Amino acid sequence: MLVASGLVKHYGGVTALDGVGITLDAGEVHALVGENGAGKSTLVKIISGVVRPEGGAIELDGEPVRFAGARQAAAQGVAIVSQELMTYDDLTVLENLFPYGAPRRRGLVSTREMRRLAAPVLEELGIDPPLHARAGELPLADRQLLEICRALLLEPRVLILDEPTSALPREAAARLAGVTWRLAERGLAVLYISHFLEEVMRIATRVTVLRDGRVVLPGAGAADVSLDSLVTAMLGQPAAHGAGPAAAPGGRSGTEPAAAPPGRRSPSPASRSPAGCGTSR
Amino acid sequence: MSVPKPSAAAPPANGDGGAAPRRRTRRPVPDEAGVVGVLILLVLGVGLFQPDFLRTGNLLTTAHNSVYVGLMALGMVFALAMREVDLSVGGMYAMGVVVGALLIRDGWNTWLAALAVLALSALVGALNGAVTTYLRLPSFIVTLATAMLLRGVGLALAEGKQITDLPQGDALFRVLGGGELLGVPDAVWVFVLAVVVLTVLFTRTRFGARVRAIGSNPEAAEFGGLPVARTRIAALALSGLMAGLAAVLALAFFIAGDPTIGQGYELTAIAAAIIGGTPLKGGTGSVLGAAAGTLILGAVTAALVFFEVPINWTTFATGGVILVAVGAAPLLRRVRDVRDLRAVRDLRSPGRNP
């Protein structure tokens, strides 16, 4: 569905991406992992139109595309939920769901229409927010889910979730995992960026690993990759005990899978995780 | 928001929220309720000691006197809600009055001259926005400079004198200056209409939502591709337009072009907007609140006359009122926020009885 190839980007004298490519297929959850500074954020910003690459190409359904901004990318079906919280805390929950172009009736924004459009997405996420409350009054985790709602309302074909669970408690992350699978089953291509390798192993269909601005593991089937080999690909060497790359700062603890999709393997990360590798959350 | 619906596919781990019945939230009490209440209490309170204050004629005169700075306060809400400020409205007002008077004196149709003043004000406001945006300068500095430029242009065009030889019997002066509808001055009706239109614009249109969104989280607005530059230019153009409208009404009422008119009005307009619940940090605001804030300041000025406060102390007293009002506003807001937060928590609490 989306094919990016040969992407190059420098920031000053630093090479952020050096000929990176990635292929996202409909119906898959494609994880993108790498250490901090590996180029993950730059790659997703390029794919979502926020940053323009210096070289390379992006094709959407076989057609070359060049996004002038996030809004144009969204209009063509590529939506991103950013790592940074992008809610408008002074606006109502409902207004936050339609920041680009709220539905109108006789030229005025229609609250009723917004409710009607939002209802199925809220239903799908399994949440019931106070729609007229200011978004800033919601807890952090809820605001993150609000952003995911907003992205889904754009009816994307490619959905980029950049560290979507970093602020979520375990039950919310589990719910999000279920939603992610359902979206993929619906035919969306989901690019899932996370520091939490066990989460990646649970959720992803395929995994791409970046290291120092290059792809070191291109779209490997998640079932064919062990946690150890993933860590090795990220670091360029086997993980040393107690110095893992994916240590979660605070957040949830525990290693059991939140929920496994029907028909998918349900790994036991606790038994597979290299001891002290910091992949638990 | 984390109250799960019964039909949620993935129930929460603790399982205590899955059966929570769906509840509807009531819309929160409008932000303006407090400031409108203060206005009513102020008027009634003064009336208690000075019954003549409550005479319809006095109240309408007070309202009429507040219209000019009030219109600027309404426009200022849009600038402040975007984390911008427009210090040029006082200068714009003076320039508008002078330009309008000169055009009429030069034989222009009065209504056409009024339209020209409105167009010019909106254009200069848009220029404020364009310079702020494209030179990446704070609107505070840009509009401070244009305030002086505009007042300077007004003084130069009028050669420092009032322009008085205008056709007093003309329809513009009769209708907008001295006209009444249902006993209420037409200028007050214009103000009421502006409050209604701008309230709708601020709260019920995509433009208003963008203004508030950009003020609430500029980084998210840039990241999400909202038209930040266009919206900023439009918001400052609107602020200029409202100053121009005030100029047209003032010209129609005074039938003269005074280049020294409106000194300090920009600060009064900002104070009125802040009293009315539009914070400097942006993201939110209230057009109706700004109108009420203006009327509070107008009522205080009028009340000081009734209480025979020496004229030299009225400015001091007005400053004191502004300080008390803007000091009390955050306090009231904090009380309201705590109340709203409790309401949200109650709503989210699965164990709460509906």
In a domain, B282, yes or no: yes
In a domain, A278, yes or no: no
A108-152 confidence digits (pLDDT tens): 999 999 999 999 888 887 788 899 999 999 888 788 888 889 998
A153-208 confidence digits (pLDDT tens): 988 999 999 988 877 778 878 888 888 888 899 899 999 998 888 888 888 999 99
Q: Considering its fold, how many domains does chain B have in total? A: 1
By the 8 A CB rule, do A92 and A132 touch?
yes
One DSSP character per residue, B291-311 reads: HHHHHHHHHHHHHHHHTT--H
Distances from the Cα of B188 to the Cα of A115, A204, B179, angstroms: 37, 64, 10
Q: What is the pLDDT of residue B288?
A: 95
A105 has which bridge partners?
A108
C-alpha Rg value of chain B to the nearest Å: 23
In a domain, A65, yes or no: yes
In a domain, B87, yes or no: yes
Q: Does B213 touch chain A (CB under 8 A)?
A: yes
Q: How far apart are CA A34 and CA A193, in angstroms?
A: 9
In a domain, A54, yes or no: yes
Q: How far apart are CA B287 and CA B305, in angstroms?
A: 28
In a domain, A96, yes or no: no
In a domain, B34, yes or no: no
Element (H, E) at B257: none
In a domain, B10, yes or no: no
Q: Which domain holds residue B317?
A: 55-329
Q: Which domain holds residue A179?
A: 2-77+156-272
Q: How far apart are CA A181 and CA B53, in angstroms?
A: 69
| Per-residue tokens: B328 | 């009390």
**Alpha carbon of A25: minimum distance to chain B alpha carbons (Å):** 25
A195-249 confidence digits (pLDDT tens): 888 888 888 999 999 999 999 989 888 888 888 888 888 888 776 654 444 444 3
A58-71 confidence digits (pLDDT tens): 999 889 998 888 88
Q: Which residue has the tokens 């239903």?
A: A123
Chain B residue with CA closest to A137: the answer is B341
In a domain, B49, yes or no: no
**Nearest CB to A127 within list B2, B27, B225:** B2
A48-99 confidence digits (pLDDT tens): 998 899 999 999 988 999 888 888 898 899 999 988 889 999 999 999 999 8
In a domain, A280, yes or no: no
Element (H, E) at A166: none
In a domain, A30, yes or no: yes
Exposure of B307 in the CB half-sphere (CA atoms within 13 A): 15
Output B319-323 pairs: Cβ under 8 A, ≥24 positions apart. Answer: B321/B296, B321/B297, B322/B271, B322/B275, B322/B297
Q: What is the pLDDT of residue B258?
A: 94
One DSSP character per residue, B216-243 reads: H-HHHHHHHT--HHHHHHHHHHHHHHHH
- Within 8 A by CB and 6+ apart from A84, the residues are B219, B223
Q: Considering its fold, how many domains does chain A have in total? A: 1
In a domain, A148, yes or no: no
- Within 8 A by CB and 6+ apart from B111, the residues are B171, B172
**Alpha carbon of A274: minimum distance to chain B alpha carbons (Å):** 26
Q: What is the pLDDT of residue A240?
A: 60
Q: Does B216 touch chain A (CB under 8 A)?
A: yes
In a domain, A119, yes or no: no
By the 8 A CB rule, do A164 and A133 touch?
no
CATH number at residue A226: 3.40.50.300
CB contact under 8 A, A126 and B340: no
DSSP state of A213: T
C-alpha dihedral, B309 to B315 to B316 to B319, nearest 10°: 130
CATH number at residue B208: 1.10.3470
**Please, what is the average pLDDT of chain B?**
86
Q: How far apart are CA B266 and CA A94, in angstroms?
A: 34
In a domain, B299, yes or no: yes
**Alpha carbon of A182: minimum distance to chain B alpha carbons (Å):** 10
In a domain, B201, yes or no: yes
Give chain A positions within 8 Å (CB) of B344. 130, 133, 137-138
CB-based burial of residue B250 (10 Å sphere; 0-12 exposed, 13-18 middle, 19+ buried)?
buried
In a domain, B3, yes or no: no
B164-189 confidence digits (pLDDT tens): 989 888 888 989 988 889 999 999 99
Q: How far apart are CA B272 and CA B118, in angstroms?
A: 23
